[in-house]
Each structure stands twice: as C-alpha cells, then as structure tokens.
Structure 1
Amino acid sequence: MTTFPLRLLLKGALLSTALVATTAQAQDYPPVIQSLEQQGVKVVESFEAPGGMTGYVGEMQGRSLAFYLTPDGNHVIVGTLLDEEGNNLSAASIQELIEGPKFAEAWPQLENSNWVQDGSPDADTIIYTFTDPNCPYCYRFRQQAEPWIEAGDVQLRHILVGILKEDSLTKAATILGSENPEAALHDHQASYEQGGIEVDRKLVSAAHMEVKANNRLMQELGLRATPSTLYKDDDGVVMVQGLPNPQALERMMGPKP
C-alpha cells in the first residue's frame, strides 16, 4: 500500500485556518476546504452531516476520503464519522457519492478485461475480483466463496494480476494462457500452500500482455490491494478491498447455501 500524503491529517485530527494558506480557489469553498485542495485533494461533493457539520467527499491520488467542516467554519475533521450505533457514515457517503458512480461507470471495463471464470455460467450473481496468484487473502477469499460457487449461486471472475512477488505475473500468465484457465486456476488453488501452479514459459509468452493490461486496469481504478472485489446490489456497484468479513460476504453473495 502506498503512503497517503495526508498522513498528518489522521482520524479525528483538526486542521485550522490559522495554520494554512487560504488563497481563493475556483470553487466557493470555505478557506479551510480550499487548503485541502492546495494539498492535492479533489473535492467531489458536499452534503449535510450530523452535528451541524458540512460533509465533503473527495479523492487524492485515486484514493477516496471524507472530511467534515465544523459549524464555526474554521476547522475540518479528516477521517471516519460514526453514529451512536457504530455505523460508518463516512464509508456510506464515499460509496454513494464517489465509489458507486465511479465503479458503475467502470463495470464495462471489468466485463471486457482478461478474467478467468470460476463457477457456473448460469449463476445469478457475477462478482469480479482482482486476484494475484501469490496473495494469501485471495486464496482465503476463494475458500470462503466455495459454498456459493459449488451451489451454482455465484460466479467469480478472477481478473488476474501480477503485483505482489517476482513470479506473480508469470504465474498469472500461466493460468490465463492455459487451454482451460478455470481448471488451471483450480489446480493453483489446490496447490497454493505448496507454491501453486508451475510456471510454463510458453504460456507466459502468450498471455503476459493480458496480465499487464489487468495490472493497468487495477491501477487506473485506484485499487491498491488484492483481493479487490466488485459486485452489484440494488443501489449500484460496491467495491470491497481485502478479505471480506462474514457480513460483507453475505451482502456480496447472498445467504449462505
């Protein structure tokens, strides 16, 4: 994971107008919000937030964030806002205003990427997941998904990338270039703890450019970890980064068979 340039603006930190420059920007934002723009934040949208605050969502180097202007207009809180029940209001705002529209627009790119089918072609639920052959969390995610795949409810589409280790790309290309990529993926999964699929240089030569294209797509979408998984629900497209917890898994795949 890359280091976030706003590392000094940690969860709950306050940024005061007394400490930053306030040169006017094209948008008519308060000076303290303008200061974030000067640090490279692209402000996407504002919304009414609890406690008399004004909420904002934005992006910095492809990474989404939420921040909140205090009622006095002189300070901004950068981080996560929770309600009394512990619900993450910041994540909900980011999903609704940034990530949902962004990934809905990108869905056709996922469909046209170089993926490996894993599951029934008749499955009701299609899920795209960026998978590195050397990623232990990708391996565990596939284990978690097994009941839904075996029941024919879910089809995973693995967008194979090579980013974690020196042989990640060659393993991914060996799977993707195989005569039966789904069988090769299953062989890799079955032997993962022993090192996974054996690299075939002929297959690597045939498919390495497809893996590189997947790497570029992942980078363009601002995804920095594997697995990064995208699926559709009633509200649009949702992205889950990393290994999903049981609740997220059921939101993604439905009730466990």
Structure 2
Amino acid sequence: MRLGFALALLLLPLIPGTALARVGAVPAKVWSQLGQSHWIAQGNGARVLYVIFDPNCPYCHVLIDELQPLIKPMHLQVRYLLVGFLDPGSSQEKAAYILQAKDPLAAILENEKKFNMEHFGGVPEVLPDARSEKILKDNLALLTSIGQKIVPTMIYPEKDGSYQVVQKALGPNSLRDVLKGIPEQAKNLPAQ
C-alpha cells in the first residue's frame, strides 16, 4: 500500500489542480476576504494560517498530516477552507459531509485518518445542502481569485505586514520555516 501511495504522489503533477505551482504575495483584501469566509479552525494559537484544501487531494492530506504535531508547539490556529473540484464524482460530496457534520473539525480529521488514493477513501459522500453549496462556491471563487485553482493553498501573514500564498507541496523543513515566520496576531482572533 505504501509503495502504491508513493507512486501516486509521483504522478500527481500530471493531475490538474494538484500541480506544484506558486509562491508569492497576495493583496491585503484577500486576507480580509479569508477572515470573512467560512473556515474551520484547529488550534487556538496566535499564528494564523489559512489552508484551502480538497478532501480528495493527496498533497492536502500530506500537508494536514504534517501540520498536526506542529499546531500546539508553534502556537498555530489553522483555518481550513474546503473546496470540492478535484474529483467531480466525490470531492463536493465529501466536502459537504465535512461541512454538514456536527463537528466539522472531527470530520476533517476523520477524512485524513481514512484517506487513501481510492475513490472510497476518507469520509462518506453526502449531497450538499444549500448552505454547503454556497460555502463551496464562495471558497472556490476565493481560491480562483488568488490566481490559480490549485490545492493545497496556504495563505499567511509575514512580519513585514504582507501576505503570502504558497500553492505547492512543501517538505517538512520548509513547512517549519514558513510557520516560524508567521507573526503572532492579537489575542482577540475572530471566532467563527
């Protein structure tokens, strides 16, 4: 199973929407839009990191998995925004399951725990209700406004007041470097 997963990761750049792409600045208005969007928080640290992901994205799975042991010691609040476009047959339905769950964060973690490269991996698929459809549409529009429809996408503030976007897979050391560079925000972070 591990060999199959590794082989699939090698082939991922050939799948639209998962290509390793972009690192750069984003306008402050994007950061403001992120704060007003529908996100699911993990952690209550003062360093805010937005992660836009698709429940069927292998690179997203790797990122979320690598973030888990770093959230508490690095004082992170990871704000997950769901999109559902990679697999027309199940991405939206899995995203809907997460959004409609009583505990959406637990549903994200369940998806990661059960994730595999098969269509049936992760969480169950449900039809999106009107609220979930709107959230997914709005989140996808926000992702597209950044420049490229690629997941995972990380957006975070820099100490100089700018905002950065990373639309590519990072190795563990590069990820730690990015997280260390995120300044601590005011203690009164907006709740959702």
Q: Which interval holds the TM-score relative to the shorter structure?
A: 0.7 to 0.9
Q: Secondary structure at the match of 1:192?
A: coil
Cα deviations by residue, 1:8-53 (Å, 9 ceiling, x for unpaired) = xxxxxxxxxxxxxxxxxxxxxxxxxxxxxxxxxxxxxxxxxxxxxx
* Corresponding residue of 1:165: 87
Match of 1:108 in 2: 32
**Bigger strand fraction:** 1
**CA RMSD between the two structures:** 2.3
Q: Would you say 1:148 and 2:70 are equivalent positions?
A: yes
Where in structure 2 are the equivalents of 1:209-228 lying within 5 Å? 209-228=134-153
Counterpart residue number, 1:176: 99
Q: CA deviation at 1:195?
A: 0.6
Q: Are 1:253 and 2:179 an aligned pair?
A: yes
TM-score (norm 1): 0.56
Q: Counterpart of 1:209 in structure 2: which amino acid?
A: K
Give the number of equivalent residue pairs: 157
State the alpha-carbon separation in 2 of the partners of residues 228 and 107 from structure 1: 13
Specify every segment of 5 or more residues in structure 2 that has no aligned partner in the other structure, as ranges.
1-15, 182-192
Maintained 8 Å contact 1:125/1:155: yes
CA shift for structure 1 position 150: 4.2
Distance 1:103 1:153 in 2: 25
TM-score (norm 2): 0.74
Which of structures 1 and 2 has the bigger CA Rg?
Answer: 1
**Equivalent of 2:159, from 234, 247, 251?**
234
Work out the CA distance in 2 between the residues paired with 1:214 and 1:227.
Answer: 13
Gaps of 5+ in 1: 3-62, 65-90
- Pick closer, same or farther for the CA change 1:129–1:223 going to 2, 3 Å: farther
Distance 2:27 2:114 in 1: 33
Q: Which aligned pairs between 1:30-179 and structure 2 lie closer than 5 A?
A: 95=24, 99=25, 102-118=26-42, 120-121=43-44, 123-151=45-73, 153-166=75-88, 167-179=90-102
Give the fraction of aligned pairs with identical amino acids, expressed as a percent: 28
* Structure 1 residue runs of 4 or more that deviate by more than 2 Å after TM superposition: 102-105, 245-248
Task: Answer whether contact 1:170 1:208 (CA < 8 A) is retained.
Answer: no
